[in-house]
Amino acid sequence: MTVHHKMDRQSDDVLSDMAQGVIGTGAPRVDGPAKVTGQAKYAAEIGDGTEAVGVFVRATIAKGSVKSVDKAAALAMSGVVSVITDERLLRNPAQGTANEAPIQGASAVSYFGQPIALVVAESFEQARHAAQHITVEYDADDAVTDPTDENAQFDVPDEKQTEQGDVSTAMAQAAFSVDVNYTTPSQNSAAMEPHASIAQWEGDELTLHGSYQMLKYNRNELADALGIAAKHVRIVAPYVGGGFGSKLGIAPEAVAAAIAAKELGRPVRVVMTRPQVFETTMRRSSTQQRLRLAADSDGNLTAIGHDATVSNLPGEEFSEPVALATHFLYAGKNRSYAHRIARIHRTCAGSMRAPGEAVGMLALENAMDELAHKAGIDPVALRVQNIPEKHPESDKEFSSRRFAECLTQGAEKFGWSARSAVPGQVRDGEWLIGMGVSSAARGNILSEAKARVILHADASVTIETDMTDIGTGSYTIFGQIAAEMLGLPLSSVTVKLGDTDYPEAAGSGGSWGASSVGSAVFLACQSLRGDIAKLVGTDAADITLKDGVVTAGNVQRPLSETLSVDLIAVGHIEPGDMSGAVEHAGFGAHFAEVGVNAVTGETRVRRMLGVFSAGRILNEQTARSQCYGGMIFGIGAALTEEMVHDHRDGHIVNHNLAEYHIPVNLDVPQLEVEFLEERDSWANPIQAKGVGELGISGAGAAITNAIFNATGVRVRDYPATLDKIL
Ligand code: MOS
């Protein structure tokens, strides 16, 4: 049976009554051993090695059309099976949360690196070699590839320009104000596993082993791209080696593998190279941001203005929602937002971890630091005193928000009182030492999800859902929820994920995965508890399930002796109308201590602490690891990560992990993460909120603020490389 729950009211805290104590416990990831011993098979590793292998030929112009593709030389080469120039290859499959990609004309090129042809051969080496012998002729058009180009065209969508009160007047009357510009570069999600697909057809039925985050959407996208019905497509992705947004939508290799496999009547594998991942999947948009903050003589904000320019391809639906957190984080009755989209010919710009908050807070939280410095107010105190009572625009209450405590308890734990308010005062040999703080915030989302829970007659449990585990802990957390609810050890629960044959889940995106799909598992288990109660002649409220034993009044019976057949329930959670009720978000605070070398200008993060409140923590260990990952992204954003585009054609100059610098072990000190106990009854039945993206939001700004405190140098152009500090 299916239990459907529309989230349109507060949830009861039933989980606190559960006897097991499995929820919240820091259980290590159950998929860990398979991964570290190489037994977990990723998309590219499925198959028996007899698959044909495809390698892309990609556009070397930013804009124009393909006049001709000369395949002759490649086709004559050893091992080459086919050169596919199906027009469907030229379409940009969807990327980003909107899952709406522009469909170009059959031969149109709109960015450097766009797929034009797929060379298929018996081996990767043969295909790669042959791909270099394809000659493409273009009709190239002039293309604007830079948002700062004087010929750049902008979209200024009405609904994204908002005004409340009068920011200009408030700025003019302010006792203290800042009006500053910040820039952030294009970034890459840089998931460890590249995008990879193996496609195989049986008649009209396609099975694609891929590396994707949101299978129910990905299945529709792939079906759309191929022009077939979704019911003919099965996507399988039991293991995903990171995504960080880059695998929210399917990438061109999935479409190409499917087309080639159909044409050739055999399985085809296409694995993107690292440069292709950079150039042919998606990037996070670069941003230009202007922050205006006005405060009275006590430091109370009277106005906030946040104007952003981002860049996307013409026709792209998604654009980086830069000011997301600025809308609700701080008080101030005058507020103004502008959002401009430069329509340029660069690789598609989609959602990368915490789209909006991650880059918006780099600027907002620097501006708050600048204001604190000008006003002579401690940056922690300035933030705390400007926490609004209600949402400053919607005037709604927050569902739960231990924001102030994250800041104050974090300051205490970090030893913030030792910070010198005057920059450039603390030295350790040739290192200038400084401390910085930033707020963290990320909106919380519930997303529709289903999960099937099978309680077998031997009291073992199987969970099935097309949810993915992209390294986040899904396998473990859903097992914990079922174990908690059914009074069984975690080891008796088998979690099966990543297959569109299972019930449709929310997918891994927007930090909603654990709480949304976890709620579906929870609902199914609630139903099963009712079934178990009936078997012992009572109601669910009157049974205790613990250590594999059902207790009802005086009766105590092992669950395995209570069951005679498998019991099956499907949980289905759906967001309901709570529009009138509350705002929800996760909150936190980041603290960083850096050393900046007085001779070289290089920055080393010495310590970092993140304190977060995100509802019920479902697994202490996986939640903590998510926050570590987010904070490490923050170190990258602050200090090293920057995609460099060639201004002539928009191509990405540093399209590999040797030159696009993500933090490595030596760049990351031991990070500390604390969670404040919280339940959010408005969020979902299990009262948890997302943490995956909370940890990145604001993290980089704590570091650049610490650089200012260490040196007196304010870097407003991310990343804060040494040349900008010296
Ligand atoms: Mo996230 S950017 O929704 O993977």
Q: What is the pLDDT of residues 683-696, one digit of tens each?
A: 999 999 999 999 99
The better pLDDT of the pair 382, 103 is held by 382
Q: With 70 as the cut, is the pLDDT of residue 92 above it?
A: no
Print the SS3 string covering 32-95.
HHHHHCCCCCCHHHCCCCCCEEEEEEECCCCCEEEEEEECHHHHCCCCEEEEECCHHHHCCCCC
Contact status, residue 28 vs residue 597, Cβ threshold 8 Å: no
Please give the number of the atom of ligand 1 that sits closest to the Cα of 352: 2
- What are the pLDDT digits (tens) for 452-476? 999 999 999 999 999 999 999 999 9
Q: What is the pLDDT of residue 565?
A: 97
**284 in contact with ligand 1, CB cutoff 6 A:** no
Q: Other C-beta atoms within 10 Å of 426: how many?
A: 18
What number is the average pLDDT over the span 521-550?
96
Poorest-confidence range of 18-27, 288-297, 638-647?
Answer: 18-27
Tell me the percentage of the chain whose pLDDT exceeds 70.
98
Is residue 707 predicted with pLDDT exceeding 80?
Answer: yes
User: Which is the closest atom of ligand 1 to the Cα of 189?
Assistant: 2
* Dist. CA 57–CA 76, nearest whole Å: 17
Q: DSSP letters along 357-411, please?
A: HHHHHHHHHHHHHHHHHHHT--HHHHHHHT--SS-TTT-PEES---HHHHHHHHH
> What confidence tens digit (pLDDT) does each residue in 191-243 have?
999 999 999 999 999 999 999 999 999 999 999 999 999 999 999 999 999 99
Q: Does the pLDDT at position 409 exceed 60?
A: yes
For a ligand 1 pocket test, name from 218, 351, 357 the mutation site with the most ligand atoms within 8 angstroms of its C-beta.
351
Amino acid at position 708, single letter: F
Give residue 96 CA to ligand 1 midpoint distance, Å. 8
Which of the 8 DSSP states describes residue 666? G
3: Cβ below 6 Å to ligand 1? no
Distance CA 708, CA 726 (A): 12
Distance CA 435, CA 396 (A): 34
Q: How far is the CA of 510 from the centre of ligand 1 (A)?
A: 5
Region of poorest pLDDT, from 265-279, 289-303, 407-421, 578-592? 578-592
- Return d(Cα 367, Cα 304) in angstroms, integer: 10
As given in the structure block, the two tokens for residue 67 are 């006049």
Give the per-residue pLDDT at 91: 67
Domains and CATH numbers, the chain: 2-26+446-575 (3.30.365.10), 46-143+192-242+247-280 (3.30.365.10), 356-361+375-444+584-725 (3.30.365.10)
Q: CA-to-CA distance for 97 and 76, rounded, in angstroms? A: 42
**Cα 345 to Cα 9: distance, rounded to the nearest angstrom:** 45
User: For the whole model, what pTM was predicted?
Assistant: 0.96
- Is the CB of residue 350 below 6 angstroms from any atom belonging to ligand 1? no
Query: In the predicted model, is pLDDT for residue 256 greater than 70?
Result: yes
**pLDDT number for residue 580:** 75
Beta bridge partners of 119: 55, 83
In angstroms, the CA 218 to CA 280 distance is 17
Residue 185 scores a pLDDT above 80: yes
What type of residue sits at position 224? D
* Whether the CB of 355 sits within 6 Å of ligand 1: yes
* pLDDT at res. 21: 86
Pick the atom of ligand 1 nearest to 213's CA: 4
Q: Does the beta carbon of 352 sit less than 6 angstroms from any atom of ligand 1?
A: yes
| pLDDT at 105 (0 to 100) | 45
- What sign results for the dihedral spanned by CA atoms 381, 382, 385, 387? negative
Q: Ligand 1: distance of its center to the CA of 248 in Å?
A: 7
The rounded Å distance from CA 352 to ligand 1 centre is 5
Tell me which of 583, 593, 678, 693 is the catalytic residue: 693
- Phi then psi for residue 335, to 5 deg, are -145, 140
354 Cα nearest atom in ligand 1: 2
Residues 540-568 have a mean pLDDT of 95
Q: In terms of DSSP bridges, do strands 582-583 and 205-210 run parallel, antiparallel, or are they unpaired? A: unpaired
Measured in angstroms, how far is the CA atom of residue 351 from the centroid of ligand 1?
6
pLDDT at 492 over 50: yes
Mean pLDDT of the chain: 95
Q: Is 148 exposed, middle or buried (0-12, 13-18, 19+ CB in 10 A)?
A: middle
- CA dist 559 and 486 (Å) reads 9
Strand partners, 441: 587
pLDDT digits (tens, 9 = 90+) for 307-322: 999 999 998 889 999 9
Q: What local confidence, expressed as pLDDT, does residue 94 receive?
A: 41
Label residue 15 by pLDDT band (50, 70, 90).
confident
What pLDDT, on the 0 to 100 scale, is given for residue 606?
Answer: 98
Q: What is the model's pLDDT at position 31?
A: 97
Report the atom number in ligand 1 closest to the C-alpha of 244.
4
Question: How far, in Å, is the centroid of ligand 1 from the Cα of 691?
Answer: 12
Residue 102: the pLDDT is 40
Question: How high is the pLDDT of residue 101?
Answer: 41
Annotation marks residue 678 as catalytic: no
Indicate the DSSP class of residue 300: -
**What does the pLDDT average to over 483-487?**
97
What per-residue confidence (pLDDT) applies to 20? 84
Q: Is the CB of residue 242 below 6 angstroms from any atom belonging to ligand 1?
A: no
Under the banding of pLDDT at 50, 70 and 90, the label for residue 522 is very high
Sign, Cα dihedral of 373, 377, 382, 386:
negative
Question: Distance between CA 123 and CA 717 in Å, rounded?
Answer: 45
In whole angstroms, give the CA distance from residue 406 to residue 412.
Answer: 10
